[in-house]
Chains A and B, each alone.
Chain A
Amino acid sequence: MKPDEVEDVEIRLLLEGVQRIYGYDFRDYADASIKRRLNHWLAESGFDTFSQAQSRLLRERSVFESLLRGITVNVTEMFRDPAFFRAVREQVVPFLKTYPFVKIWHAGCATGEEAYSMAILLNEEGMAGRYRMYATDINETVLQKASEGVMPITEMQRFTRNYQKAGGRASFADYYTARYDRAILSAALKKDIVFAPHNLAVDGEFGEMNLVLCRNVMIYFKPALKERCLRLFDSSLLAGGFLCLGLKESLERRKMGERYEELAAPLRIYRKRYG
């Protein structure tokens, strides 16, 4: 038996145990990435093997929480893929503006960078107070961080560059206050965002959305769970609503793809057809 096979068995048992005890189901996450993240967690946990970790993991919630943080944190940045945000501003917002009020679901928002980016964009386009954004994530620790809206000041240079490339109309520095090594985002960006826990593997849809944003989250899932997510997004979206995926995620080869037209070709912005 190869050493890897032993570890693969250990991981499968561990995820099975986690599902039964804590209700978090990671069995449909793609193996290669979750294995990397689990190994990273293991190296920092002080346990030698997953079998050794399992006993405490299944008995002590705090050990499980550290594992959960280790395997569910998605890194992101403000205005990641500036061309995408520019396309939202130029090609999606004009449609959104025709509604008196719009609802947005941002699934897998992690620490909130993209949610705040979207808020900046919508506010600049005159939509402040005319939308509600539900920003959800499986991991409540990152949601807490997201709702605080505090970021390392060292990131601001990169975020500012992204903001400008994304067609920002103001000065990015207007959106935060620098305090020591941190940047505190302005309260005006937070008032239309609701941060809430949601688990794409088990929880249900959000009704009547005009826009669903889920970027670089499903790349970590196995095909069956990806399908589940896409169905969830499809049933959450109104006709004429928009679905925004990561740059390497596509509706090509998907059955529900027929019901969507691609708006900005390489940027994975889709619009749900009427009827």
Chain B
Amino acid sequence: MAETLDANPRQDGTAPKTAARSFEAVTIGVSTGGVHALQKLLGQLPATFPLPILIVQHISADADSGLAKLLDERCPLRVKEADEQDEIRPGTVYLAPPNYHLLVEREGFLSLSADPYVSFARPSVDVLFESAAAVFGRGLIGIVLTGANFDGSQGLKTIKRKGGVAIVQDPADAEARQMPQAAIAATGVDYVVALDGMAALLQKLAARRNTIPHDEKGRDD
């Protein structure tokens, strides 16, 4: 039933309300307070988490790859700094490298760009979110975490416009609340949650990949 509906999207570009959703990827944007927040969130996801996770953490241009190594050591999932032409694999976390934007290509690869700063940042959350939304559409989960700027809000709006799901860290729970607040102000957010509940929520959403509980049908949109 669900598959049939998924195979026949409406011609106006919106998703049918009752269609089951099968998520393909998670994107996360985070700035000030990010090292702590990412350790906490990724630390609670099991090695069996089935979706790829793409992350932009604002970082200074001349930083080394220390953050990816740190997260890789402390989290069950494999964490790596994104290399150009990396194939996007399930259950792997990709971190945007310092001084490059991270983008998603249609063929399921990652690409990098040295284009000018967007939203005063490189890597920019907006760039990742917008390119991921173009590829994954309603199969994308976008998350905005703690940060002291506005990057990510335009990108989250695009994710919503293309049918994806938007999750924002509860500003009261965030080390810096501006980025979550800007995201909430920019678009209709699906979930506003504290960091502690986020891993459980992601696992619940990801589990819909194969089995769609009857009572959850139609609640996505």
Residues of A whose CB lies within 8 Å of any CB of B are 1-4, 8, 30-33, 35-37, 74-76, 82, 216, 219-220, 223, 226, 246-250
**B114 & A75 in contact (Cβ 8 Å cutoff):** yes
Which secondary structure dominates chain B's binding surface?
loop
Q: Which of B22-30, B36-44, B97-105, B190-198 contacts A (4 or more CB under 8 A)?
A: B97-105
**A32 & B131 in contact (Cβ 8 Å cutoff):** yes
Q: Which of A4, A31, A35, A248 contacts B100 (CB 8 A)?
A: A248
Which of chain A's residues has its CB closest to B114's CB? A216
Minimum C-beta distance from B125 to chain A (A)? 14
Pairs A–B under 8 Å by Cβ, sample size 10: A8-B106, A32-B105, A32-B131, A32-B135, A36-B130, A75-B115, A219-B84, A219-B113, A246-B114, A249-B84
**A75 & B84 in contact (Cβ 8 Å cutoff):** no
A248-B97, A249-B84, A250-B83 known; A33+B113 contact, CB < 8 A: yes
**A36 & B11 in contact (Cβ 8 Å cutoff):** no
Q: Which of A36, A247, A248 contacts B131 (CB 8 A)?
A: A36
1/0 per residue, CB under 8 A from A, across B168-201: the answer is 0000000000000000000000000000000000
Q: Report if B134 contacts A (CB, 8 A).
A: yes
Q: Which of B11, B62, B100, B134 contacts A32 (CB 8 A)?
A: B134
**A30 & B115 in contact (Cβ 8 Å cutoff):** no
Nearest 7 A/B pairs, CB to CB: A32-B103, A216-B114, A32-B131, A33-B113, A30-B111, A219-B112, A219-B84
**A31 & B112 in contact (Cβ 8 Å cutoff):** no
CA distance A209 to B85 in the complex (A): 28
User: Residues of B contacting A249 with CB < 8 Å?
Assistant: 84
User: Residues of B contacting A223 with CB < 8 Å?
Assistant: 85
**A75 & B111 in contact (Cβ 8 Å cutoff):** no
Which of chain B's residues has its CB closest to A246's CB? B114
User: Residues of B contacting A226 with CB < 8 Å?
Assistant: 85
Q: Which of A36, A246, A250 contacts B127 (CB 8 A)?
A: A36
Q: Which of A4, A8, A32, A74 contacts B104 (CB 8 A)?
A: A32
A32-B105, A32-B131, A35-B134 known; A1+B113 contact, CB < 8 A: no
Q: Report if B13 contacts A (CB, 8 A).
A: yes
**A4 & B162 in contact (Cβ 8 Å cutoff):** yes
Q: Report if B46 contacts A (CB, 8 A).
A: no
User: Residues of A contacting B142 with CB < 8 Å?
Assistant: none
CA distance A35 to B111 in the complex (A): 13
CA distance A32 to B127 in the complex (A): 10
**B85 & A33 in contact (Cβ 8 Å cutoff):** no
User: Residues of B contacting A248 with CB < 8 Å?
Assistant: 83-84, 97, 100, 112
CA distance A71 to B42 in the complex (A): 37
Q: Report if B16 contacts A (CB, 8 A).
A: no
User: Residues of A contacting B134 with CB < 8 Å?
Assistant: 4, 32, 35
Minimum C-beta distance from B36 to chain A (A)? 26
User: Residues of A contacting B127 with CB < 8 Å?
Assistant: 36
**A1 & B116 in contact (Cβ 8 Å cutoff):** no
Q: Report if B137 contacts A (CB, 8 A).
A: yes
User: Residues of B contacting A82 with CB < 8 Å?
Assistant: 62
CA distance A216 to B83 in the complex (A): 13
**A219 & B114 in contact (Cβ 8 Å cutoff):** yes
**B114 & A3 in contact (Cβ 8 Å cutoff):** no
Contacts A32-B103, A32-B111, A247-B97 given; 5 further ones with Cβ under 8 A? A2-B13, A75-B114, A219-B84, A219-B100, A219-B112
Q: Which of B11, B97, B106 contacts A31 (CB 8 A)?
A: B106
Which of chain A's residues has its CB closest to B132's CB? A32
Q: Which of B143-163 contact A (CB under 8 A)?
A: 162
Which of chain B's residues has its CB closest to A30's CB? B111
Minimum C-beta distance from B94 to chain A (A)? 12
